[in-house]
Amino acid sequence: MVVAMATYQKPRVPAFADALAAGIVQLHSSEYRSPSQLRDGEVLVVGAANSGAEIALETARRGYRTLLSGRHPGHLPFRIDGIAYRAGVVRLVLRGVFHRVLTTDTPLGRKARPSVVSRSGPLIRVKSRDLAAAGVERVPRTEGVRKGRPVLADRRVPDVANVIWCTGYYPGFSWIDLPVLDGQGEPVQRRGIVPGEPGLYFVGLHFLYALSSTMIHGVGRDAEHVARTVYQRSRATAS
């Protein structure tokens, strides 16, 4: 069996979200479609990776005072739709660094993988200067709730009308009743092949083999590797 469901199944929202005042609009990024879903007032976007940065940029440009909460993950040093793209730099990065350098076969890739899997990769489209120009205010991580309002790590309690949770997902593999998951609920695998379970394979996981494993060219390579392994094993069994 090949499990090709990726790791973005169940929206992850902190437990303290339930303590926010009933009048505050709460959306997970998977539910967000446009600023028309929001109330008038401030917006707190929790999670500063790609989804959070892009949503914060949109709400700020629509006139909402927007706070972006969380660690800045860094960003690509060029525009993916600019001169660098036309010059082939972006393709070099995606095909070279993301696809061939940052893999589980290289020391650099093995060093980078735990951080990428547990946190997030760099911002792809949005730059810090874009957020600043739109008026987005960067604030520390959101740690809890006090009297129905969110509490930041610096103890500020912003009076927001909307909270958008860009806090990721649970993997959603609880239905797999085999000892193949680690302490974080992630499959233990090598390029999609599960040690000790020759009939079980994974495709589409974040950094399954490379940073490109959730991109079209990366998942295609991973799927080809798994398919080749399945074919070779089936032939060996048949013979």
- Give the pLDDT of residue 93: 66
Q: Which residues of 213-230 are buried (b: 16+ CB within 10 A; e: fewer)?
A: bbeeebbebbbebbeeeb
Longest dimension (CA), the chain: 69
Spatial distance between the Cα atoms of 51 and 43, rounded to a whole number of angstroms: 15
Question: What is the fold, at CATH topology level, of the domain defined by 10-75+122-170?
Answer: FAD/NAD(P)-binding domain (3.50.50)
How many other β-carbons are positioned within 10 Å of the β-carbon of residue 17? 17
- Give the pLDDT of residue 84: 56
Spatial distance between the Cα atoms of 211 and 166, rounded to a whole number of angstroms: 20
pTM score above 0.85: no
- Give the pLDDT of residue 139: 97
Report mean pLDDT in 10-residue bins for the chain, 239 residues.
86 96 97 97 94 95 97 70 61 76 93 80 81 96 97 97 94 90 89 93 93 89 96 86
Question: Residue 213, CB half-sphere, CA atoms under 13 Å: how many?
Answer: 30
- Give the pLDDT of residue 78: 63
Q: What secondary structure letter does DSSP report for 115?
A: H
How many other β-carbons are positioned within 10 Å of the β-carbon of residue 60? 24
- Give the pLDDT of residue 39: 97
